Structure 1
Amino acid sequence: MTIKRFIAGAVCPRCSEMDKMRAWRDDELEVQYRECVSCGYSDEQSTAIQAQPTELETRVNRPHVSEPDAEASVIQFVPNPSTTKH
């Protein structure tokens, strides 16, 4: 027996009524269903795990091939002599 449950706060895409949508799933077919009890709208969505698309190569996820052109140097901070604590 399938239990159909109302989805709190859900808005129907057809009639825009709130709290009229209910959902249930069929694990054998790997499908999730939802319907509106107000206007009769219904749709289904597959729950089967699908392969993720490969990530596009960008400058952010591409590994660095060379070191940066700038030289590294040491910076020394000298305290300001006019600001002394008493």
Structure 2
Amino acid sequence: MKKRFIAGATCPKCKAIDTMALTKENSVETVTCVNCGHQMAQPEEHVAQDVRPKEQVIGIFKPD
């Protein structure tokens, strides 16, 4: 999987600078700190529309 580093980004957990890497898998963007392992995920807009307001979902599988 290809990682793109985010220049100047600061990890909200360990406060390290330039350690945040962005990956995308199954229409879900994930940002991971390579220093402490902290992760944040954000699904694309069409995936986010299927999520109920009080749920935390990383991805939605829809077999065709």
The TM-score with structure 1 as length reference comes to 0.50
Q: CA RMSD in A?
A: 1.5
Match in the other structure for 2:40: 43
Residue 42 of structure 2 aligns to which amino acid in structure 1? Answer: Q
Whether the aligned pair in 2 keeps the contact of 1:30 and 1:48 (CA below 8 Å) is no
Q: CA-to-partner distance for each residue in 1:31-57, whole Å, 9 max, x for gaps?
A: 001100111101211113366xxxxxx
Where structure 1 has 5 or more consecutive residues not aligned to the other structure, the ranges are 52-86
Identity %: 38
Whether the aligned pair in 2 keeps the contact of 1:22 and 1:36 (CA below 8 Å) is yes
Instruction: Tell which has more relative contact order, 1 or 2 (C-alpha 8 A, sep 6+).
Output: 2
> Which protein shows a greater Rg?
1
Which structure 1 residue ranges, 4+ long, deviate > 2 Å from structure 2?
Answer: 48-51
Q: Following TM superposition, by how much is the alpha carbon of 1:3 offset from its aligned partner in structure 2, in angstroms?
A: 0.6
Give the helix-richer structure, 1 or 2: 2
